[in-house]
Amino acid sequence: MHSAAVIDHFKNPRNAGDLPDATAAVDVTNPVCGDVLRLAIRVDDGKISAVRFKAQGCVATVASASALTELLAGKSLNEAWAITAAKISDSLGGLPPATYHGAQLASDALAALFAKLC
C-alpha cells in the first residue's frame, strides 16, 4: 500500500523535533482522523534556514510532514508558497486516495504558517 519513499520517511523522519527560536510555528489537526501536525520554520534573509515538525498520526501523515521539511529547506518564501499537497504526494511516489489526507494536512500546515507570517 505504501511506496518505499513513504516507508523510508516514516521510519527515518527528516527534521523531526522542536525548533527553538522559530520565526513561526503552527499546529493543525485533521478532524476526521485525528492526526496532528506541528510545523515550525526559521526564516533568515528571506529564506527558510531551518524547519522542524512533530506529528501524531498515520504513516502517511508522518511521511508527508517529513517530505515537506525536505521540500522547504533552503527555499525562499515565494518558492515555498508553491508547494502543494500534490507536490508533497509526488515527492513520496504518489499517495493513494485513502492516504492522501497526510499530504493535505502537511499542505494545510504550510498555508497556516504563511497566514501567520503575513
Position 7 scores a pLDDT of 96
**Do 1 and 102 touch, CB atoms closer than 8 A?**
no
Position 104 scores a pLDDT of 97
For residue 117 the three cell numbers come to 507570517
The mean pLDDT of 31-41, rounded to a whole number, is 94
Strands 36-44 and 24-29: antiparallel
pTM value is: 0.96
Instruction: Tell me: pLDDT of 1 over 80.
Output: no
Instruction: Tell me: pLDDT of 41 over 80.
Output: yes
List the domains of the chain with CATH numbers.
4-117 (3.90.1010.10)
- The chain-wide mean pLDDT, for the chain, equals 96
Instruction: Tell me: pLDDT of 118 over 90.
Output: no
